[in-house]
Structure 1
């Protein structure tokens, strides 16, 4: 078991944070501490995730469990917004300058001015595919699914990519729906991309040099944020229509 004294983990409790903590546990490699935000919708999220079969997220590695197992400090904050003054105050108190980010809003400039770095996993290939709903648009546009690790900057989705990983889905319509997309696929592709970076951390220079033969086209010259429910359904139908019952079923990393 090892821990990295140069990087902490900011957890917005929910599916994405649980998927990230599964990665820490699997690799037996941990951040120096956990800063746990407050998610007012956590109970709903956990109830939804528990009701999903083949979720790919164990739900065994919550913040308290991981803190005890890895013998690392856990700081719980009564704030759901990453930009709350108490968050920056605690970050300064720890002295840690680099943090793995798992949600909590759009980071405001005062963090960057304070010299804080946030390692973020974006659900699309950067810089081509930007925006919070971009993995839907990417699947709809050219059947690609990717996630990119990068350090946040003041401009949204504009940081230099560290590593991009591509994936593919082979699931039937009785499994794949909007809930599965949001609660399983989105956090899982982010976590698997984090895993590649975390395996190399802190020596990420080599992983920056790796490039995937798989590429995503830009669905739009603009960032992909709002998506009409009909377009979401079209995306899901497109993916399930490509289901191959003769091939392994599930979510896969493109090598």
Structure 2
């Protein structure tokens, strides 16, 4: 198991964070430190389910996974992300890279005062599908699913692009939100971390500010249309 000394994991007990840590561990990688962040105001109950899946370990709390593999972590029970204790701990952390996995949260300007690089995996093709629920807009317009890894900047989903990867639409479209989206992001995360191990750096490309569109949470009717359209092109083996 290789300890990634320059990587701090910003996590919550969510499907996405469990997918991230499980796929990292399965690939022989582990972050040197985890900040396990519980935000009282975050309404992400659908992302906190313990639904069984063959794609990653999703049936036990993240803290148990961390204990099992003796990964050091610090727990923050806070009411907002820009909490003073969290910011001070981040400032003092020696790691330069932060893997970001807090659903529904946007980094405030204070986080960009510490010369850290925040890695985020976005479930859409950038710069064309920025914002919320991009997987359904992508399915609606392109009949595909794409994940994009970026460095976060102050503006939403505008940072340098590290990598992107296309994924087949799963046969069971009901798992997209709670299982497939987290797995897709985790898969790309591991790909770029393994590349970092080989090259000692991330290769990036700037995003074009003249392209793309920022989307908001998709309307249920449009979501149904996206699913129906996607079902015509699904991979029956998934």
Category of TM-score, reference length = shorter chain: 0.7 to 0.9
> Which position in structure 2 is the counterpart of 1:215?
none
Q: Distance in 1 between matches of 2:200 and 2:166?
A: 20
Q: What is the CA deviation profile of residues 45-96 of structure 1, one whole-angstrom value per residue up to 9, with x for unaligned ones?
A: 477442xx64623225743334334433110001253322221111123222
CA RMSD of aligned residues (A): 2.7
- Cα 1:103/1:44, change in 2 over 3 Å: closer
SS state of the match for residue 147, structure 2? Answer: strand
Contact residue 149 and residue 161 of structure 1 kept, 8 A? yes
Q: Distance in 1 between matches of 2:87 and 2:115?
A: 11
> Which position in structure 2 is the counterpart of 1:102?
101
> Which position in structure 2 is the counterpart of 1:25?
25
Match of 1:192 among 176, 187, 192: 187
- Cα 1:190/1:154, change in 2 over 3 Å: same
Gaps of 5+ in 2: 206-210
> Which position in structure 1 is the counterpart of 2:66?
67
SS state of the match for residue 215, structure 2? Answer: coil
Contact residue 149 and residue 163 of structure 1 kept, 8 A? yes
> Which position in structure 1 is the counterpart of 2:81?
82
Gaps of 5+ in 1: 211-219, 251-255
Match of 1:227 among 199, 214, 218: 218
- Cα 1:226/1:98, change in 2 over 3 Å: same
After superposition, residues 1-255 of structure 1 pair within 5 angstroms as 1-40=1-40, 44-45=45-46, 48-50=49-51, 54=53, 56-59=55-58, 62-79=61-78, 81-103=80-102, 105-171=105-171, 175-177=172-174, 180-203=175-198, 208=203, 221-243=212-234, 247-248=236-237, 250=238
Structure with greater proportional strand content: 2
Q: Distance in 1 between matches of 2:165 and 2:12?
A: 23
- Cα 1:209/1:9, change in 2 over 3 Å: closer
